[in-house]
Amino acid sequence: MSKKILVAYFSASGATKRTASLLAKAANADLYEIAPKIPYTAADLDWTNKKSRSSLEMTDPASRPALADMGAPVSVCDVIFLGFPIWWYTAPTIIKTFLEAYDFSGKRIVLFATSGGSGLGKSESALSPCAPNAVWMGGKLLNGATEISLKNWVESLGL
């Protein structure tokens, strides 16, 4: 029996969205965008401004930006590829909101990210408490990934 796969992603600039679309095609998976209830503006994303929305969210451990909807088909999926841009060496706080909004019990979660310069950092250790009953399978930085490289990565995971 083949596993039902979901690629869920948050993208602020479009880079993660492009990668998620390629990954969904390579993994024959459904695609779902994790969208904030209040979209981010360029000013919100200015990491050099300590008072910007993203800076405030990332420095507040309790920050949980609201989701635009609760329509992710998590309950019918076995594997969830969870993607995001790297902010402050980890996942944006909206990813914690997403993980806490659904039941991931027994689901396999594979992280992927895009970044201007840093790796996944401590993303898995920061996120795993938000879905403690999931099976965490690590992850990969996917800057410049191609459909072929993504297909090879998905196959290497032995899902």
The H or E element that residue 101 is part of is helix 93-101
Average pLDDT over residues 4-12: 97
pLDDT > 90 fraction of the chain, expressed in percent and rounded? 89
Tokens of 14: 């479009």
Average pLDDT over residues 14-21: 96
Average pLDDT over residues 20-29: 97
User: What span, in angstroms and rounded, lies between the C-alpha atoms of 58 and 109?
Assistant: 22
Which phi and psi angles does 7 have, rounded to 5°?
Answer: -105, 110
Give the residue extent of every domain in the chain.
5-156
| Residue 1 pLDDT | 52
pLDDT tens per residue across span 117-141: 888 888 999 999 999 999 999 899 9
CATH 1.10.3860.10 describes domain 5-156 = no
| Residue 79 pLDDT | 97
Burial of residue 131 (number of CB atoms within 10 Å: 0-12, 13-18, 19+): buried
Residue pair 103/43 in contact by the 8 Å Cβ criterion: no
The DSSP symbol for 39 reads P
pTM: 0.95
Q: Could you please report the per-residue DSSP string of 9-48?
A: E--SSSHHHHHHHHHHHHHT-EEEE--BSSPPPTTTT-TT
| Residue 159 pLDDT | 82
| Residue 121 pLDDT | 86
Is the pLDDT at 2 greater than 80, yes or no? no
The H or E element that residue 32 is part of is strand 30-33
Residue pair 103/134 in contact by the 8 Å Cβ criterion: no
User: CB neighbours of 64 closer than 8 A, spacing ≥ 6?
Assistant: 93, 94, 96, 97, 100
Sheet holding 135-141, edge to edge: 30-33, 5-9, 79-85, 108-114, 135-141
pLDDT tens per residue across span 55-103: 999 999 999 999 999 999 999 999 999 999 999 889 999 999 999 999 9
